[in-house]
Amino acid sequence: MGLYRDGYTSLLATILPEYNQSLWKLRDSEKAQEKSERKKLREKKATQREIEKSERRRVSEVNRGGPIPSFRNVSLENKQWLTGFVEGDGCIALPYPGHPVISISQKDRRVLYFVQDMLGAGSLYYGDGNEASQLVYGGLRRCLPILEAVSPYLVAQHTVNRIVEVFDIRYEPGVPALSWIVGFWDAEGCFFIGKYNDLHASLSQLDSEVLEKVQRVIGGRIMDGAVSQLYLRKSELLDFLPIYLKYSHNIEKQERLTCVLQKRIDWLGNRQLLEERV
């Protein structure tokens, strides 16, 4: 029994210090983790406060400062293009009473730079990562010149309804001009290579009435769904491409079109080579 006790005591004397040391390390680790989590939570709250503060400051700046948009040197075609572009990628909002905002969102900032330079005004806010950047016009003094310039060329009924809600000004939607269609295409349209290496062009929109108006001008067929789409047939696409390239200001879409055209040309060249070899 004595030996057992001595052996047991000896074993405990060996194990306990290591056990206690491990236990203290575990407790220290848990305390460090809790401290780290509290620090992350404080940082998260601080970041959220900064975001809210930045947003309040941004809205204040948008509504307070910046030059007034000028359409003195803007051509008719560019007014029509801008109307279509705003009706596609624009937003008319009322953050709080008496302070309306018109904004345009795009991932590719180059087209926003073009609009900003064309009007000589606009506050540009850069998106992070894959977020879109925004060109913003805030306050009645900056919104009304835009409305006066684009109102004769409005096409979408939902845009007209939104203007009534925010500004209590009534306009009548009309028939889309070719440059309006290009502006709307710069916002909502797409060029791509299909399954059989054919060039395709489509225009997507929740409001099928807008697509019907576009269809009456440039043709195409409308596919109804949760989001309606207008597809241009080959002959209609060939007629539309020169018009699009004439009036478009969306460099990203132009680059995309150039890319798919090159793919189509390369495919036709390879096909011809194969036929010649056969």
As a whole number of angstroms, the distance between CA 91 and CA 56 comes to: 19
Residue whose C-alpha is closest to residue 156's, from 108, 96, 90: 90
| Structural domain 76-167, CATH architecture | Roll (3.10)
- Model pLDDT for residues 43-75, shown as the tens digit of each residue: 888 877 776 666 555 554 544 557 899 999 999
Q: Which CATH number fits domain 178-277: 3.10.28.10, 3.20.20.70, 3.40.140.10, 1.20.1250.20?
A: 3.10.28.10
pLDDT top residue among 212 and 96? 212
Question: Crossing angle, helix 76-89 and helix 140-150, to 10 degrees?
Answer: 110
CA distances from 229 to 15, 95, 102, 198, 233 (A): 75, 31, 26, 18, 13
Q: Does residue 118 contact residue 127 with C-beta atoms inside 8 Å?
A: no
- Model pLDDT for residues 71-87, shown as the tens digit of each residue: 999 999 999 999 999 99
CA distances from 160 to 47, 165, 255 (A): 38, 9, 32
Q: Does residue 84 contact residue 180 with C-beta atoms inside 8 Å?
A: yes
User: Can you give the pTM of this predicted structure?
Assistant: 0.73
> 255: number of CA atoms within 13 Å, CB side?
6
Residue ranges of the chain assigned to CATH 3.10.28.10? 76-167, 178-277
